Amino acid sequence: MISSFFGKTKPINYIVLAIFLFLFYAVHIYFGLNGQNIKEIIPIELFKFGVLLLLVFIINQIVKTEKVTDYNSYGMLFFVLLVVAFSEELALSKVLYANFFLLLALWRLLSVKSIRNVKHKIFDASLLIAIASLFSDWSLVFIILVFVVINMYDRNNFKNWLVPFVGLATIFILTFTILKVSDSLSFFEEHYQFSIGFLEVGSLAEIVNVKALLFYAIILVLSILVFVRLRNVGGGKLLLLRILFLAFVLAMIMTFMTPVDESPVLITFFPATVFVVNYFEEIKKPKLQEVVLILSIVLSTILFVVQLNR
């Protein structure tokens, strides 16, 4: 049974998902060549696939260490299924790299709950967000999440409120120095446009496609249901889920700020996955869990095939 297999956390789960993701990624690359020489793009695509695998591994580690879901492999599974369903996102290399650093930043913010080395974790998260912004300018909106976490866990220490600015300044000073040496300071002006996509286009469809809108609607509904079910649970996990919900909302806002051909839907996948898994874990009937997983795999595969035929 699929549910019982991924209900455990063993190396075989990661290996199976890695093979599954590789097969879909290879098919995606093959049908997306458009006359390109496959030998020229293999190194870049292998690197991107490596980043994807690393994302899957990081998600598994976050689930294990921060306990945002139960101890299982469902987080990895649903993340991979979302990647397959939104395979068009794989063409956006900068979004993929931005997502990698934002996921690491989110991990550091979730770990603040231990109230140990708070300043170091805040600094790391701010620094990682600044690095992510070098790939996608609107990633800087996640700095709001840093201040929210400070307010949640250690608001009385005034120095904590200054640390995010130090983290941002560190990356931007280093970047400025490198660009100055290479005489490429125009990068800042060209990259940090902070364009407001929905004001620059004629319709919402040019910002977010119907598939993404349905995805957002489903996740918002599942989030509400999860919060309702956990309202009587201890504050620890509830606080973590609130942080992840805000991360989802900020990522969703990013997609409305950018044109559809640059839309960073991928950045919403991890927080969305956490809520999907939390809801899925509340299904007590094994047969129903099995049906849900099979339908999820079938649906993501269909969406993948439909995208290939466009």
Q: What pLDDT score does 17 carry?
A: 92
pTM > 0.75: yes
Q: Angle at CA 113, nearest 5°, toward 242 and 6?
A: 70
Q: What pLDDT score does 242 carry?
A: 93
Q: What pLDDT score does 308 carry?
A: 82
DSSP 32: T
Q: What pLDDT score does 235 carry?
A: 60
**CA 7: distance to chain centroid?**
22
Token representation of residue 232: 């009587």
Helices (H) and strands (E) in the chain, counts: 14, 0
Nearest CA-CA partner of 161 in 133, 119, 130: 119
pLDDT string in tens for the chain (310-residue length)? 787 888 877 888 889 999 999 999 988 888 877 666 777 788 888 999 999 999 999 999 999 899 898 888 999 999 999 999 998 888 889 999 999 999 999 999 999 998 888 999 999 999 999 999 999 989 999 999 999 999 999 889 899 999 999 999 999 999 999 999 998 888 888 888 887 766 565 555 556 678 888 999 999 999 999 998 887 666 678 899 999 999 999 999 888 887 666 778 899 999 999 999 999 998 888 899 999 999 999 999 999 998 887 7
Report CA torsion sign: 265, 282, 230, 217: positive
